Chain A
Amino acid sequence: MLNRINFLALMILALPGCSNVPLRGTGDLGVVIERATGSIDVVETSGRSVLGKVTGLGDLSHASVNYSRDGRYAYVFGRDGGLTKVDLLEMRVVKRVMQSGNSIGGAISQDGKLVAVANYTPGGIKVFDSATLDQVADIPSLDDTGKSSKVVGLVDAPGNRFVWCLFEAGEIWVGDFKSPATPVLQKFKHIGKEPYDAMITADGRYYLAGLFGEDGLALIDLWNPEAGAKQVLNHYGKGEQKLPVFKMPHMEGWAATGSELLVPAVGRHEVLVIDENNWQEVAHIPVHGQPVFVVARPDNRQVWVNFAFPDNDTVQVIDVQSRKIVQTIHPGKAVLHMEFTPRGESIWVSARDDNKVTIYDSETFAVQGELHVDSPSGIFFTHRANRTGL
């Protein structure tokens, strides 16, 4: 009898929604990409733990993640063209679409209703309803001669716009998606040779594309688009022998410190300091290898830098005011990514070939924790949900 009552009580407790998810917010959640196995670990930064794993996400070798504005859903963009919507609370795949043969990343619109994906083959962007993942727009990246380009550097911008680059054509396109089915395109041509990645400043005003095919950066002031694209830092590196690049530097997370930008040099062991007022290089800081990510701590006082093969076992920390390296650490083999907690007291660092994520105190550099993750690459926390360009 007693047993039966207990059993009934359990049934009733288990019934609502048939799910055992305790109530919780999403502000301290995130995901770590497991590059080799096509899965992601759902993590939380308060207790520094792995909550669970979601599998079956395809080729995640260059995966990136955007978040729904409520921080509950992660949109994971895989190399194989897969776009997967993952529920972080229930830790399951909500929906997965194979939207192209080969993609590189995505963006979520200002209003949170649209998810755009940048594709290599066939080149272009596709835009999806963020709730259903139904396609709402398809914009091939054909230049005037009808040739298709790889799309890189896709970001969101204020005004429900997306901005992206055409690698081969050397163009930047701005798409206004206020009416998603009939987007209005603005094309900037001859912006420079082979833009390979781009970023938008946190205020959504400046879009900067790194150029692989020549020196310099292409810049668009989105407050004054009629002024066109201009090339800045043109003379950087002219006449000097360039080192081969073993991994393309990333522009996302470029450290914007208010008046200065700290950016990775292409093919050089340097971080460049650029004055945001006149877009001139004001200094270059020698570092340990070819920088890949240069990320600012949320207070902008220090930036953390990781490096391309073969220097990818090292991370350096630069003090912005003095432009000096204040710390060099060795988090493990093949450091691929670094992500600060929302207010920056800690930083999570992935070391792919050591199968671990190490958590550091961002002030003392003491190790606060270590998580075992299979072949970890990107780390993405949910506070990205509320940031332009992330």
Chain B
Amino acid sequence: MLSNSVVYAAPAMPDAARRAELIRMVRNDCGSCHGIRLTGGLGLSLTPEALREKPDSALVATILYGRPGTPMPPWQGFMSEPEAEWIVENLKLGFPNVKSH
């Protein structure tokens, strides 16, 4: 019962296959501006240290809707809100690497 309510409270987690896609997307497509190591480039650094003080909701909004007037584009056409939340959560923890083949 208890574990059930925990599951309900958490945002819908992307499944493993989708997570792998999101990881690849963040490392590569976000990485083209933020660096494959996410330490910054044209875009800001997205490391845990850089994001620690920033509220999740603002970061999620930035990802989904972009920042008008800056090169940061909106990604809402390519991911859902829970997926953006999952990305922010993991950016703050230290983002996983693409599994090598």
Contact = CB atoms under 8 A, between A and B. Distances in A.
A196 B39 contact: no
A352 B28 CA distance: 9
Contacts of B71: 196, 212, 245, 248
Interface in A198-240: 212
A167 B43 CA distance: 12
A35 B73 contact: no
Interface string A45-64: 00000000000000111100
B54 interface: no
B32 interface: yes
B66 A120 contact: no
Given A61-B37, A246-B73, A334 B28 contact: yes
B98 A59 contact: no
A207 B78 CA distance: 36
Nearest to A37: B100
Interface string A248-262: 100000000000000
Given A36-B98, A212-B71, A310-B78, A248 B36 contact: no
Given A36-B36, A62-B32, A244-B66, A120 B41 contact: yes
Interface string B8-48: 00000000000000001001110111011101111000000
Given A61-B35, A62-B35, A79-B36, A104 B41 contact: yes
A79 B27 CA distance: 13
A309 B29 contact: yes
Nearest to B29: A309
Contacts of A212: 71
Contact of B40 (A102, A353, A355): A102
A29 B54 CA distance: 47
A interface residue count range (under 10 / 10 to 19 / 20 to 34 / 35 or more): 20 to 34
Contacts of B32: 61-62, 247-248
Contact of A121 (B27, B33, B40): B40
A257 B101 CA distance: 42
B24 A35 contact: no
Contacts of B74: 244
Interface in A94-130: 101-102, 104, 120-121
A80 interface: yes
B29 A79 contact: no
Given A62-B41, A104-B41, A245 B73 contact: yes
A150 interface: yes
Given A36-B98, A355-B101, A244 B37 contact: no
Interface of A: 35-37, 59-62, 79-80, 101-102, 104, 120-121, 150, 167, 196, 212, 244-248, 309-310, 334, 352-353, 355, 374
Interface of B: 24, 27-29, 31-33, 35-37, 39-42, 66, 71, 73-74, 78, 98, 100-101
For the complex of A and B, 9 pairs with smallest distance between CB atoms:
A61-B36, A244-B73, A309-B29, A79-B35, A61-B31, A247-B32, A59-B37, A246-B73, A61-B35
